[in-house]
Amino acid sequence: MGFERQPVVDVVAVGLVGGILGGVAFALSLVTVDMLPTIAGLLGSSSPLLGFMVHLLIAGLLGSVFGLLTRDTSYAAGSIVLWGVMYGMVWWLLGTLTLLPLLSGAEVNWQLATAQRELPALLGHLLFGAVVGLFQQLMFGWDLPTRVGTPRRERLVSVAEGIAAGLSVAGFILLAFDGLDLMTQWPAFAQAGTAGTSNIILLTGVLVGLIHGASFSTQSGGLAQAIVRGLANGLVLWLILGITVFPAALAPGLVWQLENLSERTASFPAFVLLFGVLLAVLHHSFGSIRTFLFSQDVRGRHGEGVGFRGVRAALRGSLAGSVGGFVFAGVMAQQGFFPGVAGLVGSTSVVVGIVLHLLIAIVIGMSYALLFREQSFDAVSGMGWGVSFGVLWWFLGPLTLLPLLTEGSVTWDNTLLAAAFPALIAHIAYGAFVGLIVHVFEGRYNPWWVTRTEVEERRVGRVAAQLNDSAPALWSLILVLALVVPLILT
C-alpha cells in the first residue's frame, strides 16, 4: 500500500492549526479543574487568560511536532487519528504528571490517586490528540488515495456504506434495547426524552458511519483488521461523543470529574461494541458483498478459501487456545470466576466452570486463527493482534455475554467494570499467548510471507505496508485505553 511523503512546510502548518484546534478542545478540561492559572504560573502570573494563550502556544507547537513525526504515515489507512490519541496519552504522562509539577516546583507523584485527580487532563490530552489527528486526516487523507491508486468514487461508496452501517447499528439499538433501556443509563440522555433520544441515536449512527467510511475503505484489510479497527474506533468515539459532546449538549455543561464520569460508565462498552466493532463489521460486510456482486477486478483475490489450510489453522488455533486457557485459568481461579462460568449451564461447580472455560478458550483460539490467518509477520505483530482480540472478548464475555446468559440482562455500570477488571488482565495475557503461538505455528507450517512469484510478492508487500503503518497504532491504543479507562473509572 503506497503513500506519499508530505512536504515539511505542509505538515508543520497543518500540525500547527490542528494543534490550536485541539488546544481549544483541550481547554475544556483545564477550565473544569481550574488549571489555566497553573499554566500561567510558568511565566510568573496567575491570569487565566495568559494561561490560555500559553496553552494554545504549546498546543500549536505539539501539533507541529506531531505532523513531523507522522510525515510518513499513510493517511488512507485511517490510522493517523489513533496515533494522535496515543500522542495525547504520552503528553499527559510527560506533561501533566511529570514536567508541569517539576517546572512548578512541586514533586512528581505517579500514584493512582494522582492519576484519578488528573483525569480531566487525561481526557483533554486524548481529545487534543484525536482532534490533531482528525484534522491531518481531513487535510491530507481525502486527496491521497487518488494519487496512489484508489479512485475517489471508491471512497464515496465507502462513505455511503459507512452511513448505511451506522443506521443499521442505530436501528439495532432502538429495536434490541428499546432505545432507552440502554441509553437511559447515561444521565445526559435522561433529559432528552424518548423521541429526542431516538433521534440522537439515529444521528449518531449517521455521523459515526460517515467518519468510519471516510477513514477506512471497505477494501482496507480483511474482517480481522476491521474488527480491531472498530474496537479502537469505539474507544475514541466514547471519548469524543460519549463523555464530551453528548454531556455538553444535553446536560448542564461539560463535567469530566471522576465522580461524574463513573455515572457514565455504561457508555464505555456500548460505544466500543456497538458503534465501534459492530459498525466496522457491517461496513466491511457491505463492501465485501458489493465486491462479490459487482466487481470484475480479481487482482486482489488469492488463497483457496476454506480448505485444508483453514482446517489446519483451526487446529493450530485450538491448541493455542487451550494453552492460553490454562494461563488464563490461574487468574480466574484466584478471583473465583469459575462458579459464574458454570452458571452458563445452571451449575455452580468449579470443575464444570473449568471445563467450560477451556472449551470456550479453545473455540476463541480457533476463531482467532481463522480470522487472523496471514496477518502477522513476526512475534510482535502476532502478540499485538492477539492482545487486541483478547480485549475484544473481555467486552464480549465478562461484560456482556456472561451476565446476559446467566442473569438474563446486561447492566454496564462501574460495579460490573470493577469486578471484571482482573478478567481484563487475564484476557490480555490469553490473547498474547494465543497470538504468539499461532504465529509460531504459522511460521513453521505456513510462512505466508515467503513468496515464490512476483504477484505474491506484490500482494505481501501491500499487506506489509498497511500493517506496518496502521497496526501498531491499533494495538497500542487498544492496550493503553483498555487498561487505563476502567482502572480510573472504577
pLDDT digit string, tens, across residues 161-216: 999 999 999 888 877 765 444 554 454 555 555 566 778 788 888 988 988 887 77
What is the reported pLDDT for 446?
60
Question: Radius of gyration over alpha carbons of the chain, in Å?
Answer: 23
Whether 319 is covered by a domain: the verdict is yes
For 308-355, the pLDDT digits (tens) are 667 777 888 888 888 888 877 776 777 677 887 888 888 888 888 888
Residue burial 190-227, b: 16+ Cβ < 10 Å; e: rest: eebeeeebbebbbebbebbbebbbbbbbbbbbbebbbb
Give the pLDDT band of residue 29 (cuts 50, 70, 90).
Answer: low
Torsion of CA 433, 435, 438, 439, to 10 degrees: -120
Q: Are residue 111 and residue 248 in the same domain, yes or no?
A: no
If one counts every other C-beta atom within 10 angstroms of the C-beta of residue 143, the result is 11
Q: Are residue 135 and residue 159 in the same domain, yes or no?
A: no
**Coarse DSSP helix, strand, coil percentages of the chain, rounded to the nearest 5 percent:** 80, 0, 20
Whether 299 is covered by a domain: the verdict is no
The H or E element spanning position 117 is: helix 112-117
Mean pLDDT to the nearest integer, 363-382: 81
Domain total for the chain? 3
Whether 2 is covered by a domain: the verdict is no
Whether 301 is covered by a domain: the verdict is no
Q: Are residue 358 and residue 480 in the same domain, yes or no?
A: yes
Angstrom distance (rounded) from CA 173 to CA 11: 40
Of the residues 115, 141, 167, the one at which a domain ends:
141
Q: Are residue 284 and residue 343 in the same domain, yes or no?
A: no
Rounded to 5°, the CA angle 177-181-182 comes to 75
What is the reported pLDDT for 302?
44
Give the pLDDT band of residue 298 (cuts 50, 70, 90).
Answer: very low
Q: Are residue 182 and residue 263 in the same domain, yes or no?
A: yes
Q: Are residue 429 and residue 338 in the same domain, yes or no?
A: yes
Residue 484 burial (10 A CB sphere; 0-12, 13-18, 19+): middle
Q: Which residues contact 425 (CB under 8 A, 6 or more apart)?
A: 331
Phi, psi of 372 (to 5 degrees): -105, 25
Residue burial 412-444, b: 16+ Cβ < 10 Å; e: rest: bebebbeebbbbbebbbbbbbbbbbbbbebbbe
First CA to last CA across the chain, in angstroms?
A: 41
Whether 237 is covered by a domain: the verdict is yes
What is the reported pLDDT for 18?
92
More confident residue, 121 or 368: 368
Q: How many residues in total does the chain contain?
A: 490
Q: Which sign, positive or negative, has the C-alpha torsion 308, 386, 474, 284?
A: positive
Q: Which sign, positive or negative, has the C-alpha torsion 319, 325, 328, 334?
A: negative
Torsion of CA 149, 150, 152, 154, to 10 degrees: 150
Q: Are residue 381 and residue 462 in the same domain, yes or no?
A: yes
The set of cell numbers assigned to 88 is 495525547
If one counts every other C-beta atom within 10 angstroms of the C-beta of residue 111, the result is 9
Whether 3 is covered by a domain: the verdict is no
Report the percent of the chain where pLDDT is more than 90.
Answer: 8
Give the pLDDT band of residue 471 (cuts 50, 70, 90).
Answer: low
Q: Looking at this protein, which amino acid is placed at residue 160? A: A
Q: Are residue 166 and residue 269 in the same domain, yes or no?
A: yes
Q: Are residue 331 and residue 453 in the same domain, yes or no?
A: yes
What is the reported pLDDT for 20?
93
Mean pLDDT to the nearest integer, 289-294: 74
Q: What is the residue whose three cell numbers read 442473569?
A: 407
**Average pLDDT, whole number, for the chain?**
75
More confident residue, 118 or 185: 118
Q: Are residue 319 and residue 468 in the same domain, yes or no?
A: yes
What is the reported pLDDT for 73?
62
Q: Are residue 327 and residue 227 in the same domain, yes or no?
A: no
Q: Looking at this protein, which amino acid is placed at residue 397? A: G
What is the reported pLDDT for 152?
66
Whether 250 is covered by a domain: the verdict is yes
What is the reported pLDDT for 17?
93
Containing structural domain, residue 23: 8-141
If one counts every other C-beta atom within 10 angstroms of the C-beta of residue 411, the result is 12
What is the reported pLDDT for 473?
62
Query: Which ranges of 137-219 does DSSP label H, i.e. alpha helix?
Result: 144-148, 152-176, 180-183, 187-190, 193-215
Q: Are residue 331 and residue 452 in the same domain, yes or no?
A: yes
Cβ proximity of 56 and 130 under 8 Å: no
Residue 291 burial (10 A CB sphere; 0-12, 13-18, 19+): middle
CA distances from 397 to 69, 200, 363, 402, 403 (A): 37, 28, 13, 6, 8
| DSSP character at residue 252 | S
Mean pLDDT to the nearest integer, 234-240: 79
Q: Does residue 60 have a pLDDT over 90?
A: yes
Report the percent of the chain where pLDDT is more than 70.
Answer: 70
For 418-465, the pLDDT digits (tens) are 778 778 878 888 888 888 888 888 767 665 555 566 555 565 565 555
CA distances from 314 to 20, 318, 357, 373 (A): 50, 6, 18, 10
Cβ proximity of 309 and 441 under 8 Å: no
Mean pLDDT to the nearest integer, 91-116: 75
Q: Does residue 155 have a pLDDT over 70?
A: yes
Whether 303 is covered by a domain: the verdict is no
Q: Does residue 48 have a pLDDT over 60?
A: yes
Angstrom distance (rounded) from CA 105 to CA 434: 47
Q: Looking at this protein, which amino acid is placed at residue 455? A: V
The full DSSP string for 297-321 is --TT--S-SSSHHHHHHHHHHHHHH
